[in-house]
Every structure is written in C-alpha cells, then in structure tokens.
Amino acid sequence: MNINNGIDIDVIKKDFPALQREVHPGVPLVYLDTTATSQKPAAVLDSLNRYYSYHNANVHRGIHTLAEEATAAYENSRKCIASFIGATSEKEVIFLRNTTEAINLVAHAWGRSKLVAGDRVILSEMEHHSNLVPWHILSEALGVEIDVINVDDEGYLDMDHYVNLLNNGPKLVSVTHMSNVLGTVNPIKTISTLAHDAGAIVMVDAAQSVPHMKVDVNEIGADFVAFSAHKMCGPTGIGVLWGRRDILEDIPPFLGGGDMIKRVYLRSFAPNDLPYKFEAGTPAIGEAIGFGEAVRYLDGIGMDKIWDHEQTLVKYAMEKVNQVPGVTIYGPSNSQYRGGVVAFTLDGVHPHDIAQVLDSDGVAVRAGHHCAMPLHEKYSLMATARASFYIYNDVDDVDALVDSLDKVRHMFK
C-alpha cells in the first residue's frame, strides 16, 4: 500500500537522527511511541546547539548583545507559537514546563481564586492523570465537586450524559481533545459551546491534538488550551498554556519570584504584565527556542498534510493489526474519529511481554496504563500495548509491527 498525501516520508525520516540508528546489532529502529514523546529533527537539535554555543544568556534582564539576542529568539518563538495556534496575541501564550504544569496552573491560580465548596467541575473517563489529579487536589482542598462524563464501549464521550451533567451548573469543564489511549478525537467546539451556554469555562488538554492536526484556539471555543513541545518534535521541559487574555488578567500568579513581578516591596508586590505574570524565574530559554523551531518545521510540512497522512496510516494499521489472531483494539473503529494511536491487547500475553519481544525486533511501543488508570479500569484492563504514529512513520513501520506481533503470538502460544 502506497501512501503519500503530499509528504515524502523518505526525506522526512532523514531529518531525524534517531531514526537512522540500530537499537540492536543489525536491528534498525521502528519508532512507534510518539504519543509518549516524539523524535527530534536536526533543525531543532541545531537550534539548541546554536543557542547554547553562541547566544547563551538570560532573557529580559540584560542589555548586552548576547542577552538581547537570547531575548529576541525567545520572544520570537512565542510569536511563532501564537500564530501556529491562532492566538489573538502572543501575550496569551505562557511558557511552562509541560501540559501537566499548565493544567496545574489553571487548577491552582484560577481554581483557588474562583471556586468555593460545592462548585462543580466536569472531567471525563478518558482523561490523562494530568487532567485528573490537579482537580482531585483542588477538590480535597476546597470541597469542589467533580462530575465525570461517561465513555461508551466504542470509546466516544457520552454527549447525552455530558448535557445532563451541565444541568448541575458547573463552573468549569476540563477535557482532552484527543485520548492518548483510545485515539478518540472529541468534538471540542460542541463541548465548548454547550459549556459556555451553561455558564462554565473550558480547559482543553491538547497535548495529543496540537502536534497532529490544525488547532485554532479561538475556533474550538476553549478558554484554556495546554500542550507540550516534546510531543511535537520539540525539546522536553517546555510547554504552553494558552488562555483568553481577560481571564488571565483576572487571576493571580501561580508562582512567585523573578520576572513575574513589576514591583516588589518588603511586605507586598505588584505582578508583571502578561505573559510574564505566570513565568517566574529563569525560563527554559534554549528549549523555548527549540520549540519555535519545531513549530516552524511542522508548519513547513503543513498540519493538514500531517493529519491526512496519519489518518491514512492509522486506518491501514487498524486493518493490519486486527488481522492478527487474538488481538483486540480499543477506541473508535472509524479511523476518521481517531488520531494515530492504536492501543491493543493480545490474548494470553501481558502487554509488557509484547513490548519486550517487539523491542527485540527494533519496534518501540508503549506498554502499561499510559497514565490513564481509570480508563483502563473501565474496560477491565490492567494494561494495554500502544503503537502511535507520526510524520516519520510509514506502512513499512506498520508491517514491521504486525510481523513482530505474529512472532509474539507464536512465542506465547
């Protein structure tokens, strides 16, 4: 099967040094674990090396040449990312360590200042722990009530149940745009519209969607959107919280220290303007610069082309993996409603054993609960194996996965 969708995979693969290596003697790497973290193209690696080699300085604080160069590159990345997600202003783009920290910022800065005991927050059964635990902490601290949208057997949100929960008058709805286990792409625009009609604001965990599809934060109607660089060809340790400016202006800082202040007195302080109000201390400067380069790399390929490629690839993967006797795939059967994620089990074989045997063939997949324990419990599963795809994967990678799964099946028969 030949897939192209306007993308030359052979050329793209050469952009990623890790994909050129052998993980065992004579065994090339087949990387199918992008949902956990993506590989990095040479352009991003070069940008990090260039910054640390020639422009290394702290930002916003110096007037010498290196400081001005570092500040310009850092802020240029912010502008680049703002444009990438359709933000009205780069001041709405806050650099943080990752999606997890971004959700925690909303839970603590917005939640602790806006919620009281008895207020309700809506989550869903398919959430990553990063979009569960911060709200549990808030519930324990303030007495906030948590409602949870059911997920049906096919892996979709039960929208009728969601509408019923909205009748309880929630203050916030926090859901994932795309499940990191099921691959389900949720109807965020509809979710946001219904939430706003009910008087709630919307937090979106977009860690799995922004790297793979065109996401316009204003188009989807959310109030907060969080995502991470490391899942979209960028460095680890850097992520973004986008928020509506009026809401960000109205909530207190999350952390205290340098750069997030305008004035400091012995017994009080005045917070800085956006976005620095939420960026305490020396930031991950090189990583932010690398993040901007990753966004430029993805933009150069085209997000629509990336999405089309993954749609074709996941459809092929589901067809091929389903042909392996004893395999069960979880999530929507219609590939048009799921991203490039295939979580599965194989009868009689623990997912960890699957992953270990696959690794001996150079095929890298994830095994475990994928930081989604409640979702696995819903399907009475301790763990699943998960293959996930990106711009550098092709049908040969899927075929390698299936061939290795046949090896697993015969080994444990």
Rg (CA), the chain: 22
Active site (catalytic) residues = 371
**What pLDDT band is residue 75 in, cutting at 50, 70 and 90?**
very high
pLDDT beyond 60 at 1: no
Segment 9-33 shows an average pLDDT of 97
The CA distance from 336 to 383, in Å, is: 25
pLDDT beyond 50 at 2: no
**What pLDDT band is residue 69 in, cutting at 50, 70 and 90?**
very high
CATH architecture of structural domain 9-39+302-411: Alpha-Beta Complex (3.90)
**What pLDDT band is residue 262 in, cutting at 50, 70 and 90?**
confident
For position 4, what pLDDT does the model report? Answer: 59
**Among the listed residues 93, 59, 143, 127, the one whose alpha carbon sits nearest the alpha carbon of residue 292:** 93
**What pLDDT band is residue 62 in, cutting at 50, 70 and 90?**
confident
Mark residue 20 as left, alpha or beta (left: phi above 0; alpha: psi -120 to 50; beta: remaining): alpha
**Among the listed residues 360, 91, 86, 36, the one whose alpha carbon sits nearest the alpha carbon of residue 207:** 36
The CA distance from 353 to 409, in Å, is: 11
pLDDT beyond 70 at 201: yes
Distances (CA, A) of 306 to 117, 162, 323, 340, 346: 44, 31, 26, 11, 29
**What pLDDT band is residue 3 in, cutting at 50, 70 and 90?**
low
CATH 3.40.640.10-classified regions of the chain: 46-300
Least confident of 53-62, 262-271, 344-353: 262-271
- Residue-wise pLDDT for 98-152, tens only, equals 999 999 999 999 999 999 999 999 999 999 999 999 999 999 999 999 999 999 9
What pTM does this model have? 0.96
pLDDT beyond 60 at 194: yes
CATH architecture of structural domain 46-300: 3-Layer(aba) Sandwich (3.40)
Segment 235-259 shows an average pLDDT of 95
Percent of the chain with pLDDT over 70: 99
CB 29 within 8 A of CB 400: no
CB 237 within 8 A of CB 113: no
pLDDT beyond 80 at 377: yes
Segment 155-176 shows an average pLDDT of 98
Average pLDDT, the chain: 96
For position 334, what pLDDT does the model report? Answer: 79
Query: 413 or 121: whose pLDDT is higher?
Result: 121
For position 187, what pLDDT does the model report? Answer: 97
For position 297, what pLDDT does the model report? Answer: 98
Question: 333, exposed or middle or buried, with CB in 10 Å at 0-12, 13-18, 19+?
Answer: exposed
Percent of the chain with pLDDT over 90: 94
**Among the listed residues 46, 143, 28, 105, the one whose alpha carbon sits nearest the alpha carbon of residue 392:** 28
For position 121, what pLDDT does the model report? Answer: 98
Placement of tokens 């929208």 in the chain: 159
The CA distance from 86 to 338, in Å, is: 23
CATH 3.90.1150.10-classified regions of the chain: 9-39+302-411
Placement of tokens 């997912």 in the chain: 351
For position 6, what pLDDT does the model report? Answer: 79
Pairing mode of beta strands 120-124, 172-176: parallel
- Residue-wise pLDDT for 341-352, tens only, equals 999 999 999 999
**What pLDDT band is residue 393 in, cutting at 50, 70 and 90?**
very high
